[in-house]
Amino acid sequence: MNHIIFYSLYNLGLQSAAVAKFFVFCAGTLPYIVILATAGYLGYKKIFPPKIFLVYVIAFGAWVLAGLIKLLIHAPRPFVLLSDVTNLIPESGYAFPSGHATFFMAFAVAVFLLEKKAGYVLMAAAVLIGIARVVVGVHFPGDVLGGFALGALFAYSAHHIVYTLTEHFFPPHEAHGGHH
């Protein structure tokens, strides 16, 4: 099933040069635009800067964890495993889980927990980036889905842990003269 879905998406990129260029852009350049635009948007929305920083730390932490898992699993990329597949962007290393899918879903969930609308937009961007990574031949769908699950779980867990610890060590003060 992973190969059937892979070939369906991969063949989409072979339809025309324009379609291939679109997916190469989504797999390679769009991620950087998303990272920078999100920082600007969250700043514009006046989100507390340490919370913005935490979003990036969470996403980076998820990406590091994905890299460690790749070293344990050693899953080959489609262009390595399948002789009829050519990668449209340069990529190396192991495939599962997708580091891009992990990073961008963790990023989206971390933002969602602060700002719902932006989180939904970023989830859509993560899905587009993930699909593009399959279309350009550097990931199987399972790599991307595994990355999405890892990223979402990591972001939700990290967010919960950080805010639980924050409330424990820095309890909110009562607004009108609490007990001392």
Model pTM score: 0.86
Distance CA 74, CA 97 (A): 10
Compute the mean pLDDT over every residue in the chain, rounded to the nearest whole number. Answer: 89
Checking if the pLDDT of 179 tops 70, the result is no
User: Among the options 139, 160, 168, 173, which is catalytic?
Assistant: 139
Asked whether the beta carbons of 85 and 10 are under 8 A apart, the reply is yes
| Residue from 3, 74, 100, 180 carrying the catalytic annotation | 100
Q: How does residue 36 score in pLDDT terms, banded at 50, 70 and 90? A: very high
Please write the tens of the pLDDT for every residue from 62-103.
Answer: 999 999 999 999 999 999 988 898 888 888 889 999 999 999
Does residue 178 have a pLDDT over 60? no
Looking at residue 168, its pLDDT comes to 66
pLDDT for 172 equals 65
Which pLDDT score is estimated for 61? 96
**Pure H helices in the chain:** 2-12, 17-28, 30-44, 49-73, 78-81, 99-112, 116-135, 141-169
pLDDT tens digits, 138-152: 999 999 999 999 999
Tell me whether residue 74 is one of the annotated catalytic residues: no
- Give me the pLDDT at residue 169, please: 74
CA 171, distance to chain mean position in Å, is: 32
| Between residues 163 and 97, the one the model is more confident about | 97
pLDDT higher than threshold 90 for residue 52: no
Directed axis angle between helix 99-112 and helix 30-44, to 10°? 10
Work out the pLDDT band at 174, boundaries 50, 70, 90: low
Q: Specify whether the CB–CB gap between 5 and 142 falls below 8 A.
A: no
Asked about 179 being catalytic, the answer comes back as no
